[in-house]
């Protein structure tokens, strides 16, 4: 297994919507294993392929972030088909947005349709943390980061901070 390099803001690749997976072949299985390994290594709750520079609609996630059990789930070509309610996701963060967390307005409940890693159709009705993970990761596949969903003022402050941090690297 290979640890993948996680792209960080402002890498332009993160803004590019990903392509659907048409063939769940060995290459895709390898990508999934590498993504899971990378997610646990970075102690994230989820990872979208785009974050590793891979133009494919694939998500791995594990709400428990349990690197011992590694009981992760895979969604291929996921779509939110239903959403309702409103909630504030507190202190949301992202492996691609270093050194920043913010409250984000999210739907309370979502229904997601996708394929599993064997190509079988899946339907997930999620609320709470799982719902936030779904929305956050599916946003990634559309080229959207959680900082695109906060106030323009807060986003500007982060952009400035990030520029400074990159300069001093
Ligand atoms: Ni993220």
pLDDT at position 168 over 90: no
58 CA to middle of ligand 1, Å?
Answer: 13
| Strand pairing report for 87-94 and 73-84 | unpaired
Mean pLDDT, residues 54-81: 96
128 CA to middle of ligand 1, Å?
Answer: 17
Mean pLDDT, residues 18-34: 98
| Predicted pLDDT at 144 | 98
133 CA to middle of ligand 1, Å?
Answer: 9
Q: pTM surpassing 0.85?
A: yes
For residue 132, report the phi and psi dihedrals to the nearest 5 degrees.
-65, -45
121 CA to middle of ligand 1, Å?
Answer: 24
pLDDT at position 41 over 90: yes
Distance CA 129, CA 47 (A): 15
| Predicted pLDDT at 90 | 96
**Which residues make up the environment of ion ligand 1, defined by Cβ < 5 Å?**
94
| Predicted pLDDT at 71 | 94
Confidence band (pLDDT; 50, 70, 90) for 1? confident
Cα 19 to Cα 31, 74, 115, 163, distances in angstroms: 15, 16, 14, 29
Q: What is the pLDDT of residues 107-153, one digit of tens each?
A: 999 999 999 999 999 999 999 999 999 999 999 999 999 999 999 99
Mean pLDDT, residues 152-166: 95
| Predicted pLDDT at 160 | 96
Per-domain residue ranges of the chain:
12-167
Is 101 in contact with 91 (CB distance < 8 Å)?
A: yes
Place of tokens 């799982």: 130
Mean pLDDT, residues 76-82: 98
140 CA to middle of ligand 1, Å?
Answer: 7
Is 110 in contact with 131 (CB distance < 8 Å)?
A: yes
59 CA to middle of ligand 1, Å?
Answer: 10
pLDDT at position 20 over 90: yes
Q: Which residues are catalytic?
A: 137
Confidence band (pLDDT; 50, 70, 90) for 169? confident
CATH T-level assignment (fold) for domain 12-167:
Peptide Deformylase (3.90.45)
């Amino acid at each position: 297994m290979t640890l993948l390099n996680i792209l960080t803001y402002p890498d332009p690749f993160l803004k590019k919507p990903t392509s659907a997976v048409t063939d769940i072949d060995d290459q895709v299985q390898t990508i999934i294993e590498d993504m899971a390994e990378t997610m646990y290594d970075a102690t994230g709750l989820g990872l979208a392929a785009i974050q590793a520079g891979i133009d494919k609609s694939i998500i791995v996630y594990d709400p428990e972030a349990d690197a011992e059990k590694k009981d992760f789930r895979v969604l291929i070509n996921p779509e939110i088909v239903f959403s309702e309610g409103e909630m504030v996701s507190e202190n949301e963060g992202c492996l691609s947005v270093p050194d920043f967390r913010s409250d984000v307005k999210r739907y309370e409940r979502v229904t997601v349709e996708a394929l599993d890693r064997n190509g079988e159709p899946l339907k997930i009705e999620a609320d709470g943390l799982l719902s936030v993970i779904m929305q956050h990761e599916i946003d990634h596949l559309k080229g959207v980061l959680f900082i695109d969903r906060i106030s323009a003022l807060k986003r500007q402050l982060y952009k400035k901070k990030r520029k400074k941090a990159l300069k001093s690297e």
